[in-house]
């Protein structure tokens, strides 16, 4: 998609009630915050765990694992919004295979839009723009919403029941209330986004990780768009973690947030509250609530890194894939000798196509037939017809290969 630069100005200037940008302070925990030390330790623990996990992956694993994680991130992010599109249906959408049911098809298109935006982020689409910049935030909303079906681009005004169209990339033009939080006036949004952007510039590594939590809440507090703010916030957070930790996009916080969604939403609501007393920081909003959310957020991140690391642990993964392959060979769904390819890929990460014949002890023609069958089955991947082979991680097999990653679905492949 060739996305245009988001137009964030209305034809008629929206009302600005003159709210001071200090109303969203603090943007990050202050140096003398009572719990900053323990939270800094958690941030360093996250950095260590994330680096160790990525370093443990065989060459060639990261790209295919990142593709699976994009599907996972999309599934759980949409689930937080109440939209349940199974990962198998997301994979089908990525191959332009849509349901005949209009509602299900629309959710598939929504999921595809989310995956494509995250892929754009993972491949460096933001360029030199900071994920917290107004330009980046506008681009995320534009790219996500521009690919949505028309039916999903409308919201209903709760009092009048008026249906209002969401314009991709355009800041909201009217007042909104989310739960008990009355968001800032629409005309004030550009000022708040500018202060938001400035507040997250030039951060050290620890502050960058603490900021991933605080910025996540503060962008929701600003509520810059009429709809889509939750997706934008989680995509922005993904980009912040990708930049701060060089994660390789091989794990995702969205799964952890969705699994603890009630706590997640309670923390966000608590962070909306004003400062409790003179010991609760020096900003307008509660620093203590922000610290509690930051702890929750970092613990969720660490838990998800450890979950993925255990899931990819070589011996366990080898056993699960080997058992699956034996069953598939027995019923004739994949060729004989396929197990040897999986074994080699699990040890080496990727193998040149020319090595397959020698690896299997067969002639080149038979090696090509076996390779083609496994690619068609979706369990091998390759950048092109001559590129090395890599192990693919299809969502349809996640229940067997990577149990716990997704919910089970009856009748899976």
CATH number at residue 352: 1.10.10.10
DSSP 154-166: EEE-TTT--EEEP
According to DSSP, the residues that pair with 154 across neighbouring strands are 165
Closest CA to 377 of 387, 389, 386: 389
Is residue 118 within 8 Å of 74, Cβ to Cβ? Answer: yes
Asked if residue 229 is part of any domain, the answer here is: yes
Asked if residue 209 is part of any domain, the answer here is: yes
Asked if residue 409 is part of any domain, the answer here is: no
- Which pLDDT tens digit goes with each residue over 149-205? 999 999 988 888 899 999 999 999 999 999 899 999 999 999 999 999 999 999 999
Asked if residue 1 is part of any domain, the answer here is: no
Distance CA 187, CA 349 (A): 52
Closest CA to 340 of 354, 314, 361, 363: 361
Is the dihedral angle over the CA atoms 117, 119, 125, 130 positive or is it negative?
positive
- Which pLDDT tens digit goes with each residue over 23-74? 999 999 999 999 999 999 999 999 999 999 999 988 778 889 999 999 999 9
The reply to whether omega before 26 is within 30° of 0 (cis) is yes
Residues 233 and 331 in one domain: no
Residues 276 and 229 in one domain: yes
pTM given for the model: 0.92
Residues 269 and 326 in one domain: no
Residues 70 and 215 in one domain: yes
- Which pLDDT tens digit goes with each residue over 71-124? 999 999 999 999 999 999 999 999 999 999 999 999 999 999 999 999 999 999
pLDDT at 2: 43
Residues 65 and 199 in one domain: yes
Distance CA 86, CA 283 (A): 42
Choose the weakest-confidence range: 58-62, 186-190, 337-341, 387-391.
58-62
End residue of a domain, out of 285, 311, 337? 311
Residue 256 has pLDDT above 80, yes or no: yes
Closest CA to 61 of 376, 401, 366: 401
Choose the weakest-confidence range: 3-17, 110-124, 134-148, 298-312.
3-17
In total, how many domains does the chain have? 2
Residues 307 and 319 in one domain: no
Closest CA to 350 of 336, 333, 371, 329: 371
Distance CA 78, CA 73 (A): 8
End residue of a domain, out of 275, 292, 311? 311
Residues 194 and 338 in one domain: no
Residues 342 and 296 in one domain: no
- Which pLDDT tens digit goes with each residue over 116-156? 999 999 999 999 999 999 999 999 999 999 999 999 999 98
Q: Give the domain range for residue 303.
A: 21-311
Residues 256 and 322 in one domain: no
End residue of a domain, out of 311, 327, 355? 311
Give pairs for 99-104: CB < 8 Å, separation 24+: 102/151
Residues 338 and 283 in one domain: no
pLDDT at 10: 40
Residues 250 and 305 in one domain: yes
Residues 305 and 318 in one domain: no
């Amino acid at each position: 998609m060739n996305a245009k630069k988001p137009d964030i100005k209305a034809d008629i200037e929206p009302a600005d009630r003159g709210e001071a940008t200090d109303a969203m302070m603090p943007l990050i925990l202050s140096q003398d915050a009572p719990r900053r030390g323990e939270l800094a330790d958690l941030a360093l623990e996250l950095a260590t765990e994330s680096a160790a996990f990525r370093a443990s992956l065989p060459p060639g694993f990261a790209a295919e694992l990142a593709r699976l994680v994009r599907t996972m991130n999309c599934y759980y992010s949409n689930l937080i919004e109440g939209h349940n599109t199974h990962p198998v249906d997301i994979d089908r959408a990525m191959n332009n295979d849509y349901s005949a049911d209009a509602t299900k098809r629309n959710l598939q298109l929504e999921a595809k839009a989310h995956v494509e935006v995250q892929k754009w982020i993972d491949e460096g689409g933001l360029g030199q723009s900071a994920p917290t910049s107004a330009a980046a935030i506008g681009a995320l909303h534009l790219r996500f919403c521009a690919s949505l079906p028309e039916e999903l681009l409308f919201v209903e005004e709760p009092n009048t029941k008026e249906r209002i169209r969401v314009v991709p990339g355009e800041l909201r033009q009217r007042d909104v209330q989310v739960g008990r939080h009355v968001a800032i006036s629409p005309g004030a949004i550009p000022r708040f986004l500018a202060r938001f952007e400035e507040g997250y510039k030039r951060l050290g590594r620890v502050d960058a990780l603490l900021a991933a939590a605080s910025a996540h809440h503060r962008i929701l507090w600003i509520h810059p768009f009429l709809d889509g703010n939750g997706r934008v916030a989680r995509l922005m957070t993904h980009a912040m973690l990708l930049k701060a930790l060089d994660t390789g996009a091989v794990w995702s916080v969205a799964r952890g947030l969705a699994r603890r969604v009630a706590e997640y939403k309670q923390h966000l609501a608590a962070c909306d509250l004003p400062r409790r007393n003179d010991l609760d920081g020096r900003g307008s909003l509660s620093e203590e609530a922000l610290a509690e959310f930051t702890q929750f957020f970092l613990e969720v991140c660490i838990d998800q890194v450890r979950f993925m690391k255990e899931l990819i642990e070589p011996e366990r993964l080898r056993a699960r894939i080997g058992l699956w392959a034996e069953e598939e060979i027995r019923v004739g769904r994949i060729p004989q000798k396929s197990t040897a390819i999986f074994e080699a890929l699990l040890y080496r990460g990727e193998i040149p196509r020319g090595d397959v014949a020698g690896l299997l002890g067969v002639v080149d023609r038979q090696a090509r037939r076996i390779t083609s069958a496994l690619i068609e089955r979706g369990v091998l991947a390759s950048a092109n017809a001559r590129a090395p082979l890599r192990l693919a991680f299809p969502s349809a097999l996640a229940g067997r290969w990577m149990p716990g990653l997704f919910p089970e679905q009856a009748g899976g492949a």
